[in-house]
Amino acid sequence: MQEVRLTPPSYIVLGLLNWTGEATPYRLKQLVAGSVGFFWSLQHAQLYTEPERLTRGGYVSERREEGGRRRKLYKLTDKGRKALAEWRAEPTAHLSEVRDLGLLKLFFGADPSELAEVQLAAHRAELAEYERIRDGLPDDVPDGPRLALELGIRQARTWIDFWEELADRAPG
Amino acid sequence: MQEVRLTPPSYIVLGLLNWTGEATPYRLKQLVAGSVGFFWSLQHAQLYTEPERLTRGGYVSERREEGGRRRKLYKLTDKGRKALAEWRAEPTAHLSEVRDLGLLKLFFGADPSELAEVQLAAHRAELAEYERIRDGLPDDVPDGPRLALELGIRQARTWIDFWEELADRAPG
DNA sequence: CCTATCATGTAATCCGTTACATGATTAT
DNA sequence: ATAATCATGTAACGGATTACATGATAGG
């Protein structure tokens, strides 16, 4: 057991394992894709390497399926559960950066209306999907994911308003 | 001269060199801190290594100061100017992810009102600074930075509205 | 004069992405 | 059957962060 630093992806894995119990990397991949992945996605390879890292640190335990494909199954240890709880209980004042490629191009002089056109299409599709998901959310979905989705919807609207105003301006 | 892939930080360096002419890494660091860094910041070390990478690719040229500290000075080559222009002219439909630590904690069950308190303080300070900057912007600042700042202000307001509603909810 | 802070860089580490590979299911 | 997709991993690479170092400048 060695020191491993816990990064945001670490907590995503810990949080999902806490949510779902024992799981394979592929199962984690599905869970990410259907939930937290909308605002913090991970490559599938990382869902194989990250649980392995966490195993080295003692935050999760790994076992092999008996028969069949002998897949790897991971679950939280007490140490992992404790680390997750402490992280969650500690409020953070950290501010995220926007890091948006379209905004970066705009910053460096891209034509606003041309950019606005493709960005609008993308953000409108994004908003439509979020609203569709929200309207179909089962009642037993906890507050956390529900609120995160709500934030995503508002951010999408902020983007749409922004680009709409730029699309309306005379080109050039 | 070898292949180097152009990443967002690459374009930040190219864009700033195009903006300011020949510059040292330290000068780039100052420029980033005062402009694009508000939505896409870079570590100072990367402002030493990235121009070196770009030199290997032929996008910038490097020369040494004659006297004194013999600092490294970088400026755009024609190839670099061309790469920047092409990148800027190509609209992108890419959508950025939020990747916010506070939201991640909320997603995994953190107490909303406790989190909202510290997040509100941080976002309000952020908003105040952006508005102060906007109100002091010289007239010759181009549209790109001006619009990026405007977007930052709106995003900050979206966050503030979101956390305010959570702060108002009964704790627990 | 001494000590912060500013300025300038290099080196090591490591996380995250990309690429590679292959076995199992499902559909045609 | 066989092609396509799903599922399960490993390996290599490289960009980004962190740590280490040191010379110059300014303030007390």
| Cα(B36)–Cα(A98) distance, integer angstroms | 11
Contact yes or no for A93 and B118 at CB 8 A? yes
Sequential pLDDT tens for chain A (172 residues): 888 999 999 999 999 999 999 999 999 999 999 999 999 999 999 999 999 999 999 999 999 987 777 899 999 999 999 999 999 999 999 999 999 999 999 999 999 999 999 999 999 999 999 999 999 999 999 999 999 999 999 999 999 999 999 998 866 5
Chain A closest CA to B155's CA: distance in Å? 7
DSSP SS3 for A72: strand
If you average pLDDT over every residue of chain B, what do you get?
Answer: 95
| Cα(B71)–Cα(B64) distance, integer angstroms | 6
Are A126 and B97 in contact, with CB atoms under 8 Å apart?
Answer: no
> What pLDDT does B171 receive?
60
Query: pLDDT of B104-133, one tens digit each?
Result: 999 999 999 999 999 999 999 999 999 999
Transcribe B105-170 into DSSP letters: HHHTT--HHHHHHHHHHHHHHHHHHHHHHHHT--TT--HHHHHHHHHHHHHHHHHHHHHHHHHHSP
pTM above 0.85, yes or no: yes
> What pLDDT does B169 receive?
80
The answer to whether the beta carbon of residue A137 comes closer than 7 angstroms to any atom of strand D is no
Amino acid at site A98: V
Query: pLDDT of B5-30, one tens digit each?
Result: 999 999 999 999 999 999 999 999 99
- The 10 Å CB-count burial string (b at 16+, else e) for A90-102 is ebbeeebebebbb
DSSP SS3 for A55: helix
pLDDT at B159 over 90: yes
Nearest one of B85, B104, B36, B61 to A110, comparing CA atoms? B85
Query: Which position has the token pair 């009642």?
Result: A139
| Cα(B86)–Cα(A109) distance, integer angstroms | 12
Query: pLDDT of B14-70, one tens digit each?
Result: 999 999 999 999 999 999 999 999 999 999 999 999 999 999 999 999 998 877 778
Give whole-number Cα distances, B9 to A30, A101, B84, in Å: 31, 11, 12
DSSP SS3 for A71: coil
Please tell me if residue A9 touches chain B, with a CB cutoff of 8 Å.
no
Q: Which two tokens stand for residue A30?
A: 């599905």
Contact yes or no for A101 and B96 at CB 8 A? yes
| Cα(B21)–Cα(A12) distance, integer angstroms | 43
DSSP SS3 for A45: coil
Residue nearest to nucleotide C14 (CA to C1'): A5
